[in-house]
Amino acid sequence: MRVVLFGATGMVGQGVLRECLRDARVDGVLTVGRTPTGLEHAKLREAAVPDLADLSTVEKEFAGFDACFFCLGVSSQGMGEAAYEHVTFDFTTAAGQAMARHSPQSTFTYVSGAGTDSSEQGRVRWARVKGRTENALLALPLRAYLFRPGYIQPLHGEASKTPSYRRFYAVTTPVYRLLRPVLGRYLTTTEDIGQAMINAAERGADRNVLDSRDIRALARRS
């Protein structure tokens, strides 16, 4: 399969890119972002786009691709409502609409988050915006799968670009093995997310909205 990947320089995207490059089922990866990954690989091509809400310079290249793995996201902390909606809703739906135009019926997987509000009516701003984004994707002529992980454990050297998140993982990573038996239903890893996305693109999933347990099960599906 051929995959378009957004957010390849973020923590989750780094893990998903690693799994794509290692997996024999993936023939090629086109990363789309504002900054390059710095990697070189025979399967990898990169497209630099200064404004991810406007994909007009690159979207024709999406023709013939089998899947889009959308791993780009930001924390709502410290962001105004308009800016957060621009990154979360506008960037994501621009990618979904471009895939629908050039590779209709392809698979689109979106990393949303536990607590996302599908009703779009709740009191938590980020959850409403994520819910609106999910609903917009489900309305497109794509096979959309919405990943709602809780705690994501980075593996294989992946790291967040957000300083506060890096500090958080510096504290929690040493005790991850202790947390797993207690909070296992909420935990997943960057490796699980990558493998689950590839499996969803190859053969689908049992439901459109997947929590951490669903993601882990899908990642292990043979």
Task: State percent of the chain over pLDDT 70.
Answer: 99
In whole numbers, what is the pLDDT of the chain averaged over residues?
Answer: 93
Average pLDDT, stretch 124-145? 97
| Domains of the chain and any CATH numbers | 2-219 (3.40.50.720)
How many angstroms separate the Cα of 130 from the Cα of each of 106, 133, 147? 21, 5, 11
Sheet with 143-148: list strands edge to edge: 44-48, 28-33, 2-6, 67-70, 107-111, 143-148, 209-211
Sign of torsion over alpha carbons 94, 190, 4, 58: positive
If pLDDT is split at 50, 70 and 90, which confidence band does 182 have?
Answer: low
How does pLDDT run across 2-13, given as a tens digit for each residue?
999 999 999 999
The four Cα atoms 99, 209, 35, 166 give a dihedral, to 10 degrees, of: 180
- Of 136, 140, 106, 134, the C-alpha closest to 209 is 134
If pLDDT is split at 50, 70 and 90, which confidence band does 85 have?
Answer: very high
Task: State percent of the chain over pLDDT 90.
Answer: 80
Q: Which two tokens stand for residue 222?
A: 């043979």
Q: Which two tokens stand for residue 181?
A: 């038996």
The distance from CA 151 to its chain's CA centroid, rounded to whole angstroms, is 14
